[in-house]
Amino acid sequence: MVFWKEFLPALFSGIVATLKLLAVAMPASVVLGVLLGTVRVYGGKIVKTIATAVVVVFRGFPLTVTLLILFFGLADFHINLTPYWAAVLGFTLCGGSYQSEYIRGAIRSIDKGQSVAAKALGMSKTQEIIYIILPQALRRALPGISNELIYMVKYSSLAFIIGVPEMFSIAKTFNSQWFMPIEVFSILAIMYLAMTTIVTLGFKLLEDKLKIPSTI
């Protein structure tokens, strides 16, 4: 059938494009989230305010608006991002802002004694954060982090509005040409489901691996 012959290779290229977006935006959003979250707990007044502003803005803006601003808006200031990089940046800022809240919450949940013990040993604030607080906080934040990354798999579809040829835009185009919504969108849905499942399983493995042994 002609449809399948055309659709499957196109879908494949769409999958590759989606994966390329996620491969950068996922780790970048986690790194940004850790930075923002940590700074919001431990930072000085100025950096704390900046970090808080970033979170408020990019958590407050609809992602579509963020993407349009990054792609079309910045072009007015002669900052020309390709659709791909505008999408990566948008996902990173949005995802990172959400991630930072999980991280911040996890840091706050670490009992005070850990920090006091680190200080009593003679650790500097930075050493305390890196060697004592974050290793514990990140473990606690894992379920939240994976949750947000699963969202990102799905909202990566929004990159279509700035013209990234990712898998949702491919599916949309094919459906308009052939009008085969059941075929097109169920296959698309299965692709997203496969990706979110991989993230879920990956994090399950990571959580098990990093679990701190206990007798209780």
- 123 is an interface residue for another protein by CB under 8 A: yes
- 136 is an interface residue for another protein by CB under 8 A: yes
Phi-psi region of 43 (alpha: psi -120 to 50; beta: other; left: phi over 0): beta
Which one of 9-17, 33-41, 80-88, 119-127 is the stretch in contact with another protein (CB under 8 A)? 119-127
Nearest-10 Cα torsion for 208, 210, 214, 216: -40
Residue 174, classed as helix, strand or coil, is helix
Contact pick of 1, 2, 46, 120 for another protein (by CB under 8 A): 120
Which one of 32-40, 72-80, 92-100, 127-135 is the stretch in contact with another protein (CB under 8 A)? 127-135
Contact of 159 with 95, CB cutoff 8 Å: no
Which one of 47-55, 100-108, 120-128, 191-199 is the stretch in contact with another protein (CB under 8 A)? 120-128
Which one of 134-142, 162-170, 190-198, 200-208 is the stretch in contact with another protein (CB under 8 A)? 134-142
Q: Which stretches of the chain are assigned E, i.e. beta strand? A: none
Nearest to 167 by CA among 25, 64, 17: 17
Phi-psi region of 213 (alpha: psi -120 to 50; beta: other; left: phi over 0): beta
* Site string (57-96) toward another protein, x via CB under 8 A: ----------------------------------------
- 131 is an interface residue for another protein by CB under 8 A: yes
Nearest to 77 by CA among 89, 69, 67, 85: 69
Contact pick of 122, 179, 182, 209 for another protein (by CB under 8 A): 122
User: Contact residues for another protein (CB under 8 A)?
Assistant: 113-114, 116-124, 127, 131-132, 135-136, 139, 212-216
